[in-house]
Amino acid sequence: MAWQNNVLRINLTSGVCSSEALNRDWAQAYLGQRGLGSKYLSEEVDPRVDPLSPENKLIIATGPLTATTAPTGGRSSAVTKGALTGAIAASNTGGMFGAELKMAGYDLLIIEGRAEQPVYLWIRDDKVQIRPADKLWGRSVWETEPWLRRELQEPQAKIASIGRAGEVGVKFACIVNDMDRAFGRSGVGAVMGSKHLKAIAVRGTRGVVVDDPRAFRAAVASTMAVLQPSPVRRRFTSRGTHNMMDVTNQFGSLPTRNCRDVQFEGVESINADAVRIPRRSDGKPSLQGNKACFACPIGCGRVATIDPASSLVNGEDPQGGDRGRYKLPSGGLEYETAFAFGPMCGVDDLDAINYVNFLCNEQGMDPISLGVSIAAAMELFEEGAITPAQTGGLDLRFGNAGALTRAAELSACGEGIGADIGLGAARLCAKYGRPELSMTVKGQEFPGYDPRALKGMGLAYATSNRGCCHMRARPLLHDFANVTTAGKAELVKTTQDLAGAIDSSGICMFTNVMFSPEHLAQMLDAACEGHWDLERMHEVGERIWNLERQFNLAAGFTRADDCLPVRTTTEPAVGGAGDGEVADITQMLTEYYSLRGWSQDGVPLAATLQRLGL
Amino acid sequence: MAWQNNVLRINLTSGVCSSEALNRDWAQAYLGQRGLGSKYLSEEVDPRVDPLSPENKLIIATGPLTATTAPTGGRSSAVTKGALTGAIAASNTGGMFGAELKMAGYDLLIIEGRAEQPVYLWIRDDKVQIRPADKLWGRSVWETEPWLRRELQEPQAKIASIGRAGEVGVKFACIVNDMDRAFGRSGVGAVMGSKHLKAIAVRGTRGVVVDDPRAFRAAVASTMAVLQPSPVRRRFTSRGTHNMMDVTNQFGSLPTRNCRDVQFEGVESINADAVRIPRRSDGKPSLQGNKACFACPIGCGRVATIDPASSLVNGEDPQGGDRGRYKLPSGGLEYETAFAFGPMCGVDDLDAINYVNFLCNEQGMDPISLGVSIAAAMELFEEGAITPAQTGGLDLRFGNAGALTRAAELSACGEGIGADIGLGAARLCAKYGRPELSMTVKGQEFPGYDPRALKGMGLAYATSNRGCCHMRARPLLHDFANVTTAGKAELVKTTQDLAGAIDSSGICMFTNVMFSPEHLAQMLDAACEGHWDLERMHEVGERIWNLERQFNLAAGFTRADDCLPVRTTTEPAVGGAGDGEVADITQMLTEYYSLRGWSQDGVPLAATLQRLGL
């Protein structure tokens, strides 16, 4: 058990909603969530389809531990062919939505086709409706969630929806759930928007049955016993991921001004200490507290406010709405958000960064991609490739906080220069004739780890199946200890496989630095049919990795796409541990392919596929 | 090079001082410091000798990187048969003394025999004198150092000496250098005292020549590039090792009240935050700043003061000296000191703990052993095995800060109940008929990690060649992630070998969590003749481990001595991650012996010895 053994299939073209039994062989081979969703996608979608066509599907997948008492067991994934990348996408969210979907009785929700008119889904256990969303279209996430709860007279409904960005086809639009959690990366929100699906509301009242409740309780207890006192857990709770900013800055791996620099002189204004400094206007700090996702004892999420004296919450609202909404406490800065709008854009204005972060939640945009795309636009502007006429007079220079906030507003609704920024950095830079200024891999923008100092992360970026990503492999600890490429290929391979299993289980990747994967294996073994141990987790993870690779190869990706931006491979870093270094993955990549059992073209060998049952 | 290729040999019985060429084959096989000192000791001392007899030798050994610019390259070791344990002892110190000895031109200083009357050594490059110390005998370390610099008219002299404790034969007396650094464990100070050697003063003005200066500079630079921005380094600098107290307390692995408990309700009064709280009397915190050893960019050492309003710095001095000396800033609390005098004795009085820490530096006692021995005495007292008449009316209960400070004072000079505490916990508990209350392994007291939650540490304690020790293996990170014995035997074995190499190199063990051992291998390879890589470091470490084991077996130790105190194996922990757990090393030990290539009696097999050239 642990799985609900039930798949909900919605065809938006025909309007048919049906449920079917889960393929239990696939569940045994791919676990759940990212793995199982990818298996269904691979079986049902031609990798060559246009991601925004009705032929693409959007799969919301839970894991076997989702909605159980496993610590952090509230995760779900959106699996589709990514609008931003054209590669297979699996975007992982927290919050409450995924657990609610599981408790409604479903492992997977498969959305097919395209509705004629905007619609939303209302799932209440086994009652499922496709309803018109014409009153919602054009509204933000922050309007959609309360509107739907009122409309459905169900205050307990959990909602995932797109904002303006997903409607207007921003390539990096995300799906936001629970107001400020998100299926964030690769443009899964654009896919949802292309299907004219505004929102999914769910209320689930069923339980989840685990295979051996007594063993499961014991496994959870022993995991909690390690997690609760873990020093890393304590730091995540007290400081959040934002804590990383001082580390990357000192190490010289904080991407700054579109990767011109690797250290940012303004970190002290925007780091995890800065959000604690009382403001002059009201004596309160930006940081208001923390919050946790379903079943999570960590609570790395932040809650923040903007200075009530700031024009950002008092001025005229270009969206035509009430700016008062920005005065309320809302999801605060994570490291990636802070990096993308701060150092990457050269901006050290904490209120501006908080505001743009709010805007991302409100209108459904991936903050990493938005920030890095604005940074690319800033460099294009400084280089003269984008003219003041094209920006409508906006002085789009690095460090201009006002330009950052305006560019973000324009991006959210696809207006003016924002329409081009909404293409993502790769298409933007290509359009303006300077493709080398795009800090992307496979069309997806850089997270906050410069690969010149962090060698393993460079390989992780280059080989990530969903485009540039810091969560698909975990070489960071070793990277911080050693500026070398030695041993990194094996580390990246191993942690990619492990991440595949964690991302398919229903629990959060961050636990990986707080308790050992044996704990997860024990919980899976108690919850699921079959014998689960660490070895099998690695095998499942490796199978998922190869399945995703197969999808991408069929979609047209080649070894040439396993690369890093030319700036990082030719312009040496200045300062920090990687001073004078460039990123060079050539040798690591050769070794990595070999370890993976792939040809030097990056194609899985027949023996590898056979070994993994692919 | 890197070695000085020179050994200074002092025979205190005959008064002969001579220098001889270093055995370079041994240097290639045992590196330096702990390894090389142990080789010389093994060759020259019968393992069955009484540690306090003239037949025992005391070897002060530097490593090839000592006195180089390698980060933290200021370490040296005191190698001897330990007075506390009867096992081979290698106590590692920082400060400036070791580098000065190396710069005087010596890799090793071998002290033999016993002087008729108290003496000290004065080494000024190749000028060496044995001088009478009758004016110094009876004085503290804090008096001896300035006295010697005045007497020798050499303000730059670096000094290692014993206090009262080493003179009166406290079994855990240490050798203190640079006022508050120490060759701390296993009673090496008692051995020095037994030789009637009060102090060693050194002034060295020579350089150290490395084999390939250009490569060495590059290796140091690349190590520094990783070390300087390391997040762990930053935490050691800002918080010191004291930071660990909250971690072990939350995890339920903070030995409390002689290991009756694993969590201490009073940590907030004595942790790394408490030393930062301004005092009411003078508005200053206990913590005054930090300090660094030779060539160390970390600076984990603390500088602290006692509240100037406290009776501890104002009352009558039982030593008859001036209590004003305790008002001056001096070496502050490390984690082990804070644990041993705080939770282990149930004491939450920060000034009392600081004072006893000062007393350890002043009179030359190992604070871990002193604290744990006082804790044992407290339990004996509460159990009625020690009577108020025997304590001279001292109410030696857990938590009594005044009893702690008085017991420490009595121990330092071997008076009253202090004479028994100075035997160490094992002999003390045996004397009072309750051997099971001694928290020791091979006669050496517990550091601050309870082995019921920390499974790997339990095996590390049991197998440590110098008696109970937390620095001979590094399973901590894995222990904190997983309360299990699985995989720990291999981890302990591997990190023991690595620690052997690090402890023999001249750099500090703490670097192990800040940069990878490859950096050390690169520095060694550039500094030393021969090819040095990680594989060879592990081989050298394993050779050292087996050599030490051979010494102990010949001294009479058996498998039965690789054990843990019965309390930890029979009384379950209450609270924290190890709630309900006892320590059980049986299976790990079997696996460990097998991995080591030892018989199940713990004796290295012929093939193992042959493989290591032993």
Q: Which residues of A are less than 8 Å from B576 in CB distance?
A: 225, 229
Distance between CA atoms of B284 and B304, rounded to whole angstroms?
10
Q: B478–A516: do the CB atoms touch at under 8 Å? A: yes
Nearest-CA distance A524 → chain B (Å): 16
| Chain B nearest-CA residue for A453 | B226
Positions in chain A short of pLDDT 70? 319
Chain A residues whose beta carbon lies within 8 Å of the beta carbon of residue B222? 483
Question: Is B188 within 8 Å of B170 (Cβ atoms)?
Answer: no
Proportion of chain B above pLDDT 70, given as a percent: 100
In this prediction, what percent of chain B has a pLDDT beyond 90? 96
Chain B residues with CB under 8 Å of a chain A CB are 222, 225-226, 228-231, 234, 246-247, 250-252, 478, 480-484, 486, 514-516, 518-519, 576-579
> Which chain B residues have a beta carbon less than 8 Å from that of A252?
229
Contacts of A251 in chain B (CB under 8 A): 229-230
The yes/no answer on whether domain A238-444 falls in CATH 3.30.365.10 is no
- Those residues of chain A whose CB sits closer than 8 Å to some CB in chain B are 222, 225-226, 228-231, 234, 246-247, 250-252, 478, 480-484, 486, 514-516, 518-519, 576-579
| Residue whose token pair is 């200024």 | A437
Q: Does B225 sit within 8 Å of A482, measured CB to CB? A: no
- Does ipTM exceed 0.85? no
Instruction: Check whether B320 has a pLDDT greater than 80.
Output: no
As a dihedral over the C-alpha atoms of residue A134, residue A139, residue A145, residue A149, rounded to 10 degrees, the angle is -40
Domain borders along chain A are 6-203, 238-444, 451-612
For residues A91 and A105, what is the distance between their CA atoms, to the nearest angstrom?
Answer: 21
Q: Which residue of A has its CA nearest to B512?
A: A481
Query: What phi, psi does A358 have (nearest 5°)?
Result: -55, -45
Distance between A117 CA and the closest CA of chain B, angstroms = 51
Contact A570, A582 (CB under 8 A): yes
CATH superfamily of B6-203: Aldehyde ferredoxin oxidoreductase, N-terminal domain (3.60.9.10)
pLDDT in tens, B322-338: 788 999 999 999 999 99
pLDDT tier for residue B316 given thresholds of 50, 70 and 90: confident
Residue type, A383: E
Structure tokens at B607: 């093939």
Closest to A509 (Cα-Cα) out of A211, A300, A238, A220: A300
pLDDT tens-digit profile of B394-419? Answer: 999 999 999 999 999 999 999 999 99
Residue B576 to chain A, least CA–CA distance (Å): 6
Chain B interface test: which of A236, A483, A525, A579 (most B C-beta within 10 Å)? A483
Q: Which helix (H) or strand (E) holds A554?
A: helix A534-555
Q: What is the mean pLDDT of residues B193-205?
A: 98
User: Which residues fall within 8 angstroms of residue B221, CB to CB, at 6 or more apart?
Assistant: none
Which pLDDT value is given to residue A608? 97
Q: What is the spatial distance between Cα A569 and Cα A576, in angstroms, rounded to a whole number?
A: 17
Which of chain A's residues have a Cβ under 8 Å away from the Cβ of B481?
A: 226, 230, 514-516
- Say whether B514 and A230 touch across the interface (CB within 8 A): no
Contact B226 A480 (CB under 8 A): yes
Q: How far is CA A489 from CA A473, A474, B144, in A?
A: 11, 12, 56
Q: Which among A246, A478, A482 has the least Cβ separation from residue B519?
A: A482
Q: Which residue type does A593 have?
A: Y
Q: Which residues in A lie closer than 8 A to residue B486 (C-beta atoms)?
A: 518
Is B503 in a helix, a strand, or coil? Answer: coil
Our measurement of the distance from residue B362's CA atom to the centroid of its chain's CA atoms, rounded to an integer in Å, reads 16
Q: Are B518 and A222 inside 8 Å of each other by CB?
A: no
Going by C-alpha positions, the residue among A367, A326, A338, A358 that lies closest to residue A270 is A338
Q: How far is A559 from chain B (nearest CA, A)?
A: 31
3-state SS class at B174: coil
Sign for the CA dihedral angle at A398, A403, A409, A412 comes to negative
Kindly tell me the sign of the dihedral angle through the C-alpha atoms of A221, A226, A232, A237. positive
pLDDT at B370 over 90: yes
Tokens 């997903």 belong to A166
Packing angle, helices B534-555 and B488-502, rounded to 10: 100
Owner of token pair 């150290």: B208
Q: Measured between beta carbons, which residues in chain A are less than 8 angstroms from residue B577?
A: 225-226, 228-229
* Dihedral sign for Cα atoms in the order A138, A142, A148, A153: negative
| pLDDT tens-digit readout, A567-593 | 999 999 999 999 999 999 999 999 999
Identify the pLDDT of residue B411.
Answer: 98
Q: Do B252 and A229 touch (CB under 8 A)?
A: yes
Token pair 């200045």 is found at A574
| Residue to test with chain A: of B230, B450, B516, most A Cβ within 10 A | B516
Inter-chain contact B518–A576, Cβ cutoff 8 Å? no
- pTM for the model stands at 0.86
CB-based contacts of B606: which residues, under 8 Å, 6+ apart?
none
Fold of the CATH domain A451-612: 1.10.599
Q: Cα–Cα distance between A370 and A357 in angstroms, integer? A: 10
The confidence score (pLDDT) of residue B319 equals 67
Distance (Å) from the C-alpha of residue B454 to the closest C-alpha of chain A? Answer: 11
As a whole number of angstroms, the distance between CA A301 and CA A234 comes to 13
Residue-level pLDDT at B324:
87
Q: How far is CA A467 from the centre of its chain?
A: 11
